[in-house]
Chain A
Amino acid sequence: MAIEKRDPVTGRVTTGHEWNGIEELETPIPRVVFFFLAVTTLFAVVYWVLMPAWPVGVTYTRGLLGIDQREVVMRQVEDAAVLRAAWTDRVGAAGFEEIMADATLMQHVRDTGRTLFIDNCAACHGTRGTGGPGFPNLAAGAWLWGGDPETLAETIRVGINSTSDETRVSQMLAFGRDGVLGREEVRSVAAYVRSLSDLPLGEADRGRIEAGKEIFAANCVACHGEDAKGSTDAGAPDLTDAAWIYGSDAQTVFTSIYSGRQGHMPHWEGRLSPVDIKLLALYVGTLGEDAR
């Protein structure tokens, strides 16, 4: 522990202490450190003077610029709303026909509808509205309740089997489980239903079609209609087309009839504004455009 010890590499003096072999040099603090300390401190002080900064009793220094983040954001939201109102007001006031005839408005509908749809609906219906097992394809043009914009807006507003008082209600009965039809009868009517959309049937199923047709006439027409083309009053799907909510394979169709089905679509009134619902109804209407 010599008092004046020099480091051979730098030629600097050490502080004279040593801890288990570690020494420290008496290097003065580099100027640049003080420089940056001064610059950052100056920045801080200027910022304090201009912006809300220090607490003083029950209040605080408001800063010379008089900026308040809450006011700023409120103003920004208002400004944005005013800008948007240029077209949203027209969407709110105009009828569906009128909007659909207006190409610029429809462009806004597509732009805005896409984000609204993906943020709120895609979890169930998919980002392009093409659905999945249990969730209908909204781009297929095969509607349960109807595909005109007024009806779509109503469906979105009240939902299907939702918790809204006004909800649309629909149910596919559990014919097999509730004992209305026996297993063999369910198999027959399933074969008949699948024959309606020309699905490939096995030998045994082909022999069941006739019996199934009779069972269908006796049990199913009330909801699905004489021609099995569905009913928008009951929210019952068209069974003759290529669109299936739950699936078209023999097992799934059997399950639909044997155990019944009841899809749940949430209601959006109160969660989305009337204009947003209108936008979504129009947007959902455009989903099939690419497909068609």
Chain B
Amino acid sequence: MISRLTVSERHLALFVLGALALAGLAMAVGGRGDPLAVHGVIVLAASLGLGFLVLSALFSPEPGESRLAEYYDDPTKAGIVLSLAWAVVGMFFGVWVAALLAWPELTFVDSAWASFGRIRPVHTSGVIFGFGGNALIATSFHVLQRTCRARLPDQFSPWFVLIGYNLFCVIAASGYLMGMTQSKEYAEPEWYADIWLVIVWVVYFLIYIRTLARRKEPHIYVANWYYMAFILVVAVLHIVNNLALPVSFGHAKSYSLFSGVQDAMTQWWYGHNAVAFFLTAGFLGMMYYYLPKRAERPIFSYRLSIISFWGITFMYMWAGAHHLHYTALPQWVQTLGMTFSVVLLVPSWASAGNALATLNGAWHKVRDDATLRFMMVAAVFYGLSTFEGSFMAIRAVNSLSHYTDWTVGHVHAGALGWVAMITFGSLYALVPWMWKQERMYSPKLIEVHFWLALAGTVVYVFAMWNSGIIQGLMWRTYNDSGTLAYSFIDSLVAMHPYYIARAFGGLLFLTGAVVCSYNVWMTIRMARVARVPAKGDVPLYGAAQAGE
């Protein structure tokens, strides 16, 4: 793949990797005796390894101009593979933590890294950032080029984004296992990892802007609005929530600039908008491309796309406070969080409805084609979980649901039912295009995966609904003496069967992900034998014409 970079791109890569290696060295030396040094070594090793790869192809001949007549899809291909690798790892950790809750002795090894508190963030970051993030990056490059009819502006920066992002993910996950965390949910990585992600993210945004500027279409397609909102807002959220002062430049530990209730509010403003702009906007972008493409139907309503886009973008910004109902957060902030969450339901359902109505005239395909069915079910779960979310944001409901497994069930209705399903559907559509095949290696295995995923999600969500509501009720039931009728342990005993069910549901879902990876792998192997180029899948605007 390296020989496909131009010679000057190879030089640039070497320069950047050299700088990164120096940074890694500085971390390793400056952080002696601190876990920071371990990360320094990881960075150093990664940049030396990649540098070696580049060097080995440094003197290969300059790639021909013919490359400019094709879209640049190598990073997308790599992103797909990385995404699935993270899916399997992240979901494995998920099943493990779920099992730990049912059988706490299942740590296997009696050491700190295997404790619940450390492996749980490996699960959440693994699936959200590893699986979801890589899928977003991979699909966004693909969608961006196709809907702009322009090739990516250069070949180096997409690799920088993809590899840099995965380096961030590795640093995050390995840090958790060593006990490093900022103790902010979904923003656990420490300051140096955060700074690195900002750099990567800016380059990502620039790729978007530069490609859009070169587009050969008069209008910017909806999917790109969503991908752009995702990139832009995540940058803002990430920077603000992670403002922190490191103990010293030789230490991994840092202290947040915020404290007390301001900290809580900043964190949940971040946390909820991560749900909104990472897990919703980004994947809506995916949906707006792959669903109509696969169904071969026009989008139901352009106007609906517009109002739901702006509705979602505007309303979500206010909603974070609903994570802090009945806390020290002033009540007026809670009111705003709650009311905007309620109104938010309308644009959310408008998006889900727009997707489902797009399938009008293609329902027979939904029946026959598991790939499209993945996307359809995703839109349904998107509708379900946004309804549930708005409902749970109502203070009175929240007083029952908060701190219970209901929240966990809600998150997974969104994460498994919506995010993962739309991703799998999109990948099944994308993989044959990328590797120039007529179809996936095995349509039957897609069918198997679909039912595994659906069954897993349903089992998971129902288990957590039951468990959460029972928990909530047990925690608020008083007896005649005016004492809480149940102790905390009583509620744990009541949870146990549901925790087993949840671990089982998760296992089904994980199995599905493994089946998917196998199917993708076999498709890639098929591609080694024969290529079936797609007609018309070429840019109108190659890189050379941009004069870059």
Main secondary structure of the interface of B (DSSP, over half): helix
Cβ A20 vs Cβ B299 within 8 A:
no
Binds B, one of A22-30, A133-141, A239-247: A22-30
Cβ B487 vs Cβ A14 within 8 A:
no
Interface size class of A (residues with CB under 8 A): 35 or more
Cβ A84 vs Cβ B482 within 8 A:
yes
Query: Which chain B residues numbered 329 to 365 have a C-beta less than 8 Å away from chain A?
Result: 330-332, 334-336, 338-340, 342-343, 345-346, 349-350, 353, 357, 360-361
B435 at the interface (CB under 8 A from A): no
A40 at the interface (CB under 8 A from B): yes
Q: Which of B289, B296, B301, B340 contacts A29 (CB 8 A)?
A: B301
B111 at the interface (CB under 8 A from A): no
What's the least CB distance linking A253 to chain B, in Å? 28
B292 at the interface (CB under 8 A from A): yes
Binds A, one of B13-21, B61-69, B214-222: B214-222
What's the least CB distance linking B18 to chain A, in Å? 39
Query: Which chain A residues numbered 23 to 61 have a C-beta less than 8 Å away from chain B?
Result: 23-30, 33, 36-37, 40-41, 43-44, 47-48, 51-55, 60-61
Q: How far is the CA of A22 from the CA of B253 in the complex (A)?
A: 49
Q: A19-B221, A20-B147, A115-B483 are in contact. Are A28 and B303 (CB under 8 A)?
A: yes
Q: How far is the CA of A69 from the CA of B336 in the complex (A)?
A: 15
Q: How far is the CA of A127 from the CA of B486 in the complex (A)?
A: 12
Q: A84-B482, A127-B489 are in contact. Are A40 and B343 (CB under 8 A)?
A: yes
Cβ B487 vs Cβ A17 within 8 A:
no
Cβ A122 vs Cβ B332 within 8 A:
no
Cβ A52 vs Cβ B331 within 8 A:
yes
Q: How far is the CA of A118 from the CA of B338 in the complex (A)?
A: 36
B contact residues around A27 at 8 Å (CB):
300-304, 357
A contact residues around B105 at 8 Å (CB):
none
Q: Which of A29, A68, A112 contacts B304 (CB 8 A)?
A: A29
B481 at the interface (CB under 8 A from A): yes
What's the least CB distance linking A56 to chain B, in Å? 10
Per-position 1/0 for A1-27, Cβ under 8 A of B: 000000101100011010111111111
Cβ B332 vs Cβ A52 within 8 A:
yes
Query: Which chain B residues numbered 467 to 514 have a C-beta less than 8 Å away from chain A?
Result: 479-490
A contact residues around B349 at 8 Å (CB):
36
Q: Which of A40, A48, A87, A127 contacts B335 (CB 8 A)?
A: A48
Q: How far is the CA of A26 from the CA of B293 in the complex (A)?
A: 18
Q: Which of A60, A69, A84, A119 contacts B481 (CB 8 A)?
A: A84
Q: A27-B304, A28-B303, A80-B482 are in contact. Are A44 and B297 (CB under 8 A)?
A: no
Q: How far is the CA of A41 from the CA of B339 in the complex (A)?
A: 8
B298 at the interface (CB under 8 A from A): yes
A contact residues around B296 at 8 Å (CB):
21
A103 at the interface (CB under 8 A from B): no
A108 at the interface (CB under 8 A from B): yes
Per-position 1/0 for A96-117, Cβ under 8 A of B: 0000000000011001101110
Cβ B489 vs Cβ A118 within 8 A:
yes
Q: How far is the CA of A191 from the CA of B346 in the complex (A)?
A: 79
A contact residues around B310 at 8 Å (CB):
none
B326 at the interface (CB under 8 A from A): yes
What's the least CB distance linking B320 to chain A, in Å? 16
B307 at the interface (CB under 8 A from A): yes
A contact residues around B182 at 8 Å (CB):
none
A218 at the interface (CB under 8 A from B): no
Q: How far is the CA of A7 from the CA of B293 in the complex (A)?
A: 15
Cβ B302 vs Cβ A111 within 8 A:
no
A93 at the interface (CB under 8 A from B): no
Cβ A22 vs Cβ B289 within 8 A:
yes
- Name the residue on B nearest A27 (C-beta): B301
Cβ A69 vs Cβ B331 within 8 A:
yes
Cβ B307 vs Cβ A23 within 8 A:
no
Cβ A17 vs Cβ B219 within 8 A:
yes
Q: How far is the CA of A55 from the CA of B342 in the complex (A)?
A: 20
A83 at the interface (CB under 8 A from B): yes
Q: A10-B361, A17-B217, A40-B343 are in contact. Are A29 and B303 (CB under 8 A)?
A: yes
A contact residues around B483 at 8 Å (CB):
84, 111-112, 115-116
- Name the residue on A nearest B220 (C-beta): A19
B77 at the interface (CB under 8 A from A): no
Cβ A43 vs Cβ B346 within 8 A:
no
A contact residues around B343 at 8 Å (CB):
37, 40-41, 44
B149 at the interface (CB under 8 A from A): yes
What's the least CB distance linking A102 to chain B, in Å? 14
A contact residues around B146 at 8 Å (CB):
19-20
What's the least CB distance linking A47 to chain B, in Å? 5
B contact residues around A67 at 8 Å (CB):
331
Q: A112-B481, A118-B489 are in contact. Are A19 and B147 (CB under 8 A)?
A: yes
Cβ A53 vs Cβ B299 within 8 A:
no
B contact residues around A9 at 8 Å (CB):
297, 360-361
Cβ A87 vs Cβ B301 within 8 A:
no
Q: How far is the CA of A53 from the CA of B335 in the complex (A)?
A: 6
What's the least CB distance linking A5 to chain B, in Å? 9
Q: A33-B350, A84-B481, A115-B485 are in contact. Are A68 and B307 (CB under 8 A)?
A: no
What's the least CB distance linking B410 to chain A, in Å? 19
Other A-B pairs beyond A26-B301, A44-B340, 5, CB < 8 Å: A17-B217, A24-B299, A43-B342, A52-B332, A115-B484
Q: List 20 A-B contacts (CB under 8 A).
A: A15-B302, A19-B219, A20-B146, A22-B292, A24-B305, A26-B301, A27-B302, A28-B301, A29-B303, A29-B304, A33-B304, A33-B346, A40-B342, A40-B345, A44-B339, A52-B331, A84-B483, A108-B481, A115-B484, A127-B489
Contact surface of A with B, Cβ cutoff 8 Å: 7, 9-10, 14-15, 17, 19-30, 33, 36-37, 40-41, 43-44, 47-48, 51-55, 60-61, 67-70, 73, 80, 83-84, 87, 107-108, 111-112, 114-116, 118-119, 122, 127
